[in-house]
Structure 1
C-alpha cells in the first residue's frame, strides 16, 4: 500500500511515495522554488506567492503519480502559523503571510503590538507570526482583501486547490498554530475571538485529523493536513508513548507525547497531537547554529592568520573531536546564544576555563555537550512534570545525523538506546501516514508506529585521508557517481528510473549503459522473484548481465543474483550507484538510513538488508587506502587496473523480505 506525503516548507517542497509494506520511502522529490512576491516590501514583511507554491506542489505530485502506480491517498503537511486569504471560489486573494512575518509584533504609538493587544483581549497568548495575530493587524490597518471570506494555512490551501473545493478545512494541529485554540472544546474559542472584533466566520472549519478533504481530478483521495512538528513526530517515532524525539538541525527540539490533560510547564509548548494527547515541545533557539558559530570562529582565526579565505571547517572539527578529551577537561559551554523562550535576555557563555583546558578540541566537545545539555534540561522538566518515563531516543535532523560524536553525547546524556528513523524527510512521511490512517489502511494514529523503520547510528568508518583519496580518484578514475539532477531538484529513489538520466552515466565509448531497476525483495531488472525457471530464462534473454537463481519446492524463484555489469550497466538505489561506488564508501553512506544485518557483515564483503530483501557481495576486502601502499603501487598498470575491481561489490541479489520489529526499541 502506497501513499504520497507532501511537505510544504518555507524554502522548499518535498513530495514522496511511502510504502507501508516496506516501511520506507520508494521515491522522493525536493524542489526549491522561488516564491518571492514581486515588488518592494517592508523589512518586516515575509510574503510568499501562493500560486507558485501550489504549482510547484502540483508538478511534484504529478511526477510522483506518473512514477508510482496505485497510490491510495495523499497527505499534506507544511509550515505552520502562516495564513493565506481565500474567496468564495476557494482561490487565494492574497499572498501567503508566513510564520516569519513580523507585522503583528510592531509597536504602535501606545507602545503596544497587535499581537500583544490580541492576547490581552482574548486571554490566549498569540505571538507575532501566528495567523490570528497577522489577521488582527491586517484588520486594524485595512489590509484584508475585500473579496476574502476565509483564511487558512498554506498546506490546507493546497488541499483546497487539489480537490477543487471552495471552503478550507483544518485539523487541530494546524488550528492551534493559528491561535486561540481551546484544548477543552477542541475548537477555536469563538467567544474570545469575537471579543477582539474578529469575525469567527473567517476561520477554517476544524475537522478530525486525517479527514477526507476531497479527491484530485484523477480520483485520488486527499486528506486534511497536519502541522509539520506533529507530522515529523508521527513520521519518525514508532512507539510514541515510550520514545522522545530529539531533532538537531539549524535549531533543535525535544518532543514527547503526553496523555490528555491540562499542563503548565515553563519553557514547554503543548500542541494537539493527531489521535489525542499533547505533544510537549521544548525548543532550543540556537540549536545547530551554535556549532556553526564555532565553525565560523575557527574560520575567522585562520583567515586572520593566513590572509586567505579557508573552506568549511567541519572536517577539521571532526578531527579535533577525535583528538580531544570527551569530558572537555572541565570546560563548560552554555549554548543559549539566542536566549530561551522563558528568558530571552540570557546569553551563552564559555566557563570553567583553566590554563590547560582551553583548546580547540575541548571547545568543539564543549559546544556539542552544551547543545545536548539544553535539550536534556527539557527532558528532565518533561519527565518530572508529567511523572513519565521513556525507554528510547529517536534522532532526526542533519546536524545530528552527520555528527557521530553528537549522537554519542545524546545517548550518554539521556542514558537511553538511540536510533534514527530511516527516512530523512520525517514530516512528509508523517503526512503519508496520516493519509493511510484517514483511508483506514492503518487503524488509528497510535497504530502507525509499526510502519516506521529505524536505523542505529554506526561506528565511524576508517577512511583514507581526503587528500590521498582525491589523488586516487583523479589518477585512476574511481569516481563515477552520476551527476546530481538539475533544476534545483533532488531525487531519493528506490528504482533506477526515478533518478539519474541515462545520459548522466556513459561507458568509455560514449554509449549509454543498460539501466537496471532494483526493487528490494521483488526484482532486479526484468527478473522477478516468484517466476518459474522458464519464465526467468525468457525474461532474461536480452539481459546483458550474468544471473543465477535458486528455486523453492514450488518451483518458483526465491533468490536471484546478478553479477556486476561493469561497463555494460549500472544500478542506482537511494541515489547511490551500487556497482560503481567503492564498497567501503557505499556501505558507510547506506548505513545512515538502512537497517543492514551487522552480524552477517565482515570487512565490507557482505551487506545484507533482510527487512528489505537484498544483499551486496564482493570476494575481497580491498580499500582505497590499500591502493596507496607500496605493494599495489609497484604493480604493472594492467594488473593494477584489474585489482581496482575488488574495491566494488561484485554481485547483487534479492530475496523475500523479512520484517521483524526493531530489537533496539522493542526490548526498551
Structure 2
C-alpha cells in the first residue's frame, strides 16, 4: 500500500494506492489563500500541516487497515512557493505562492544582472518562481531575509515535518530559478543573484528515490507501520504526469485546474525561454519536460460563475452550450489574465478584460467568453511549445475543467489535437505521488507508470476551429493594444 500526499493551492489531497493499481481511498481538506495586497498570494504553512493531520485522521477513521499496510509515502504539491526558515527551522513569514506577482521588478534586475540565466535554468525570470520572491524579501524585508537559513518549497516543508530532513527533488527544484536544469544540480551563479548559496538549499534527490523515513511518533499517531519511506516526489505537474503514465518523449497532458498547463515529456533538456516556455526536470531520472502555463484557467470559470450568481459551473456551462453559433460569434472577447500571465507573455501585470459588451449579453454570453478566452490562452501556449519543436498527436485532459465534454470539444478544436479523458485521472498529483512512493520501494517504471483506461475522447472539429479563428485573432490584437495600459 502506498500513500500519496498532494498539497494543492485550494485543497490538500490524500490517496491510498494498492499493488494492483487500485485506488483504495481518497480524501481532501480545503485550503484558503490570503491576498493581503494586490498581486500578493500567501498561505500559512501551519495550515498545510493542520490539513494533513486532519486528512490522515479521516483516513484513519475509514481505512485504518489499509493505513497499517502502507510501505511508502510520496509527496506532490504546488510549485514555486517560498517557505523561508530560520536556523531553528521556524517559518519566518507566510509562504509566498506561485501565483504571487509582487516580484516583477526583481525579475528584471535578475535578468539584467545575469543575461545567461535562462540558459542555465531553462526559464525566464518570472514572479511566480521562487528566486525572485527571495530577492523581493531581500529588498523589502531585509531583517527577515538576514535570518533566512533555509528555503523550502511547499511540499518539501511538509517533508521536513514528516521526516525531519531538508530535501527536495529535481522537478520541483527546477521551478525555483536556482537549478542548473541540464545538470540537475543547484547553480551557484543563480543563487548568488539572490544573496544565497547552497547552504540555504535542501539536498536534492530524484523523485523516485528515498528521501527520508517517517518519524516514529507520526507513524504511531496515524496508524502506519514503522520505517515507512518517503519518496522524493514531484512538483504538481510532474507528479500528475507520473500518475497518468506521461513518462516517455511525445507523451503529454493538458491540465484545466486553477491554472492551465500543457505538459510535454522530453528525453533531453529543451529550453525555449524566448516564448516563456518552461523547461524543467521530470520527476524521473534522466527525463525532462516542457510546459506552457497560463495562470487563470478553470479558476476564471469559477470566478465568473460566482460573479454572475450562478449556482455552479456545471449549470453555467449548460447555458453556454445552448448558445447558437451566431450568439457565440457576437459574444464579448475575454482576456483571462486575472492573475497576470506566463506563457507566452511573461507579464505579471496583465489583467482580465471583457471587450465588446452590449445589452444583448447575458450570463451565458459571459460564461462562453471566459471558456473561449481560456482556450485562446492555451492556444497561445500550444503555439509557443510548437515553435520550440514540441508536438503530440493526443493529450490527456485533467483538472476540474476536464469534467465538461463541451469545453473539451472546444479545446480539442482550437489546439487541433485529440483530448483523452482517463478513468481516475482526476486523482492527478496524489496518484503520481503514490506511484513515486511505489518506485522508491523498488518497483520499476514499466510496472508502475501505466496510462489510464480511456473514458472519453474529444476530437478536433475543423469547422468549429475555422469559426473560432477570427475571434482568436481579435483576442491577440486586443492584448497587443492593451499591453501598455496594464502598467
Normalised by the size of structure 1, how large is the TM-score? Answer: 0.56
Provide the residue aligned with 1:118 in structure 2. 110
Provide the residue aligned with 1:173 in structure 2. 171
Provide the residue aligned with 2:264 in structure 1. 256
For residues 330 and 200 of structure 1, what CA distance do their matches in structure 2 show?
A: 55
- Residues 415-435 of structure 1: per-residue CA shift (max 9 Å, x gap): 425223414230111111111
CA-CA distance at 1:56 after TM superposition: 3.3
State the secondary structure of the residue aligned to 2:265: strand
- Residues 319-355 of structure 1: per-residue CA shift (max 9 Å, x gap): 444543358674576432427434445865667x999
Query: In terms of mean alpha carbon deviation, does 366-375 or 225-234 score higher?
Result: 366-375
Provide the residue aligned with 2:484 in structure 1. none
Are positions 1:268 and 2:277 aligned together? yes
Provide the residue aligned with 1:378 in structure 2. 381
State the secondary structure of the residue aligned to 2:386: helix
CA-CA distance at 1:59 after TM superposition: 4.3
C-alpha contact 2:14 2:27 (8 A) present in aligned 1: yes
Provide the residue aligned with 1:661 in structure 2. none
Change (3 A) 1:179 1:192: closer
State the secondary structure of the residue aligned to 2:17: strand
State the secondary structure of the residue aligned to 2:73: strand
Are positions 1:420 and 2:428 aligned together? no
State the secondary structure of the residue aligned to 1:28: strand
Are positions 1:164 and 2:164 aligned together? yes
Provide the residue aligned with 2:298 in structure 1. 288
For residues 318 and 103 of structure 1, what CA distance do their matches in structure 2 show?
A: 30
Relative contact order: is structure 1 or structure 2 higher (C-alpha 8 Å, sep ≥ 6)? 2
Are positions 1:134 and 2:126 aligned together? no
Bigger proportion of residues as helix: 2
Query: In terms of mean alpha carbon deviation, does 172-181 or 342-351 score higher?
Result: 342-351
Aligned residues: 427
Of structures 1 and 2, the larger Rg is shown by: 1
For residues 14 and 377 of structure 2, what CA distance do their matches in structure 1 show?
A: 33
For residues 363 and 145 of structure 2, what CA distance do their matches in structure 1 show?
A: 56
- Listed as ranges, the matches of 1:431-446 within 5 Å are 431-441=433-443, 443-444=444-445
Provide the residue aligned with 1:224 in structure 2. 232
Provide the residue aligned with 2:45 in structure 1. 50
State the secondary structure of the residue aligned to 1:425: helix
Are positions 1:278 and 2:288 aligned together? yes
For residues 181 and 77 of structure 1, what CA distance do their matches in structure 2 show?
A: 19
Provide the residue aligned with 1:4 in structure 2. 3
For residues 311 and 268 of structure 2, what CA distance do their matches in structure 1 show?
A: 46
Provide the residue aligned with 1:209 in structure 2. 207
Match of 1:105 among 103, 109, 114: 103
State the secondary structure of the residue aligned to 1:214: strand
CA-CA distance at 1:43 after TM superposition: 6.6
Are positions 1:325 and 2:333 aligned together? no
For residues 347 and 34 of structure 1, what CA distance do their matches in structure 2 show?
A: 22
Over the aligned positions, Cα root-mean-square deviation in angstroms equals: 3.8
C-alpha contact 1:101 1:129 (8 A) present in aligned 2: yes
For residues 400 and 145 of structure 1, what CA distance do their matches in structure 2 show?
A: 41
- Listed as ranges, the matches of 1:396-475 within 5 Å are 396-401=398-403, 403-413=404-414, 414-416=416-418, 418-441=420-443, 443-444=444-445, 448-450=448-450, 452-456=452-456
For residues 129 and 381 of structure 1, what CA distance do their matches in structure 2 show?
A: 19
C-alpha contact 1:420 1:457 (8 A) present in aligned 2: no
Are positions 1:183 and 2:185 aligned together? no
CA-CA distance at 1:137 after TM superposition: 3.3
> What stretches of structure 1 of length at least 5 have no aligned partner?
107-112, 300-309, 459-668
> What stretches of structure 2 of length at least 5 have no aligned partner?
118-123, 217-225, 459-487
State the secondary structure of the residue aligned to 1:159: helix
CA-CA distance at 1:27 after TM superposition: 0.7
C-alpha contact 2:336 2:373 (8 A) present in aligned 1: no
- Listed as ranges, the matches of 1:340-379 within 5 Å are 340-341=341-342, 342-343=344-345, 344=347, 367-379=370-382
Change (3 A) 1:235 1:96: farther
C-alpha contact 2:420 2:455 (8 A) present in aligned 1: no
Normalised by the size of structure 2, how large is the TM-score? Answer: 0.74
Change (3 A) 1:164 1:367: closer
Provide the residue aligned with 2:15 in structure 1. 16
State the secondary structure of the residue aligned to 2:418: coil
C-alpha contact 1:96 1:154 (8 A) present in aligned 2: no
